[in-house]
């Protein structure tokens, strides 16, 4: 299985809602990533987990809270988001030491109203 | 930190012609240079990468070149086909110890039939 899956595909939430994005991979990868991608822009790194521990936080606002419950799952908890947080949220995974070879999920299209 | 610049931002070529996309990077410690292709509405996918100890790498119609002294690397697509139309992102990373990939700003390639 060489696929990264993400749920939901689309999400519309109000600024007072709490929601979660989910990502799963079964390739045995021990590095997992969350990216935010705005239209016509490159993926922007948010968080990196290595061996289920947060190793990189790119100064992301606390309304985004990542969680890695086990080596196959990655969650992104959302709370009190702003309209400017509307974007495509991509999850990716790779072998440790090979961040250049990342496998991306299809993304969650998030709209904050 | 690493900074990757990419040119051009848009590129249109006649089907069958060649396309060239160029990138420069700033961190001399970077030693892996992947290229990702993102079709409209799809996830980014790795298409080829080159390592710092290699000057050129080919895979069918795609080739990448690297000039480590000048900190330049390029993607060459020959005999372009309509399915090559996509956004292409160059990127740079180091190996073990820093699970981070820095993307260029992207090139929207359009193949004109």
* B82 phi/psi in degrees, rounded to 5: -55, -35
- Residues of A whose CB is below 8 A from B48: none
Q: State how far residue A97 is from chain B, nearest Cα, in angstroms.
A: 4
Q: Percent of chain B, pLDDT > 70?
A: 97
Q: Which residue among B33, B44, B99 places its CB closest to the CB of A55?
A: B99
State the pairing for strand pair A4-7/A53-57: unpaired
Is the pLDDT score of B97 beyond 80? Answer: no
- Residues of A whose CB is below 8 A from B45: 104
* B68 phi/psi in degrees, rounded to 5: -70, -30
Work out the pLDDT band at A96, boundaries 50, 70, 90.
confident
Q: Which residue among A45, A56, A100 places its CB closest to the CB of B34?
A: A100
C-alpha closest to that of A75 among A17, A19, A22: A22
Cβ-based neighbour number of residue B81 at 10 Å = 12
Is the pLDDT score of B96 beyond 90? Answer: no
Cβ-based neighbour number of residue B75 at 10 Å = 25
Q: Say whether A81 sits in a helix, a strand or coil.
A: coil
Is the pLDDT score of A72 beyond 90? Answer: yes
Q: How far from chain centre, in Å, is Cα A98?
A: 18
pLDDT per position as a tens digit, A2-26:
699 999 999 999 999 999 999 999 9
Distance separating alpha carbons of residues B13 and B30, to the nearest angstrom:
31
Work out the pLDDT band at A100, boundaries 50, 70, 90.
confident
Whole-number mean pLDDT of chain A?
Answer: 94
Q: Give me the mean pLDDT over the A80-107 stretch.
A: 94
Q: Is there a contact between B100 and B89 (Cβ–Cβ < 8 Å)?
A: no
């Amino acid at each position: 299985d060489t696929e990264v899956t993400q749920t939901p595909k689309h999400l519309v939430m109000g600024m007072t809602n709490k929601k979660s994005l989910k990502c799963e991979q079964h390739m045995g990868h021990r590095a997992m990533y969350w990216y935010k991608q705005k239209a016509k822009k490159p993926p922007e790194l948010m968080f990196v987990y290595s061996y289920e521990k947060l190793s990189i936080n790119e100064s992301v606002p606390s309304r985004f809270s990542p969680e890695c419950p086990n080596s196959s799952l990655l969650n992104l908890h959302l709370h009190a988001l702003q309209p400017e947080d509307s974007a495509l949220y991509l999850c990716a995974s790779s072998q440790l030491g090979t961040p250049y070879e990342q496998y991306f999920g299809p993304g969650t299209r998030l709209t904050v109203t | 930190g690493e900074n990757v610049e990419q040119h051009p931002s848009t590129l249109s070529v006649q089907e069958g012609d060649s396309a060239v996309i160029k990138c420069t990077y700033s961190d001399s410690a970077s030693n892996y240079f992947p290229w990702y292709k993102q079709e409209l509405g799809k996830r980014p996918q790795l298409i080829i990468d080159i390592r710092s100890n290699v000057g050129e790498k080919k895979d069918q119609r795609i080739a990448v070149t690297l000039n480590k002294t000048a900190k330049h690397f390029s993607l060459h697509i020959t005999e372009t086909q309509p399915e090559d139309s996509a956004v292409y992102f160059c990127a740079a990373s180091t190996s073990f110890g820093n699970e981070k990939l820095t993307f260029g700003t992207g090139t929207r390639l359009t193949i004109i039939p």
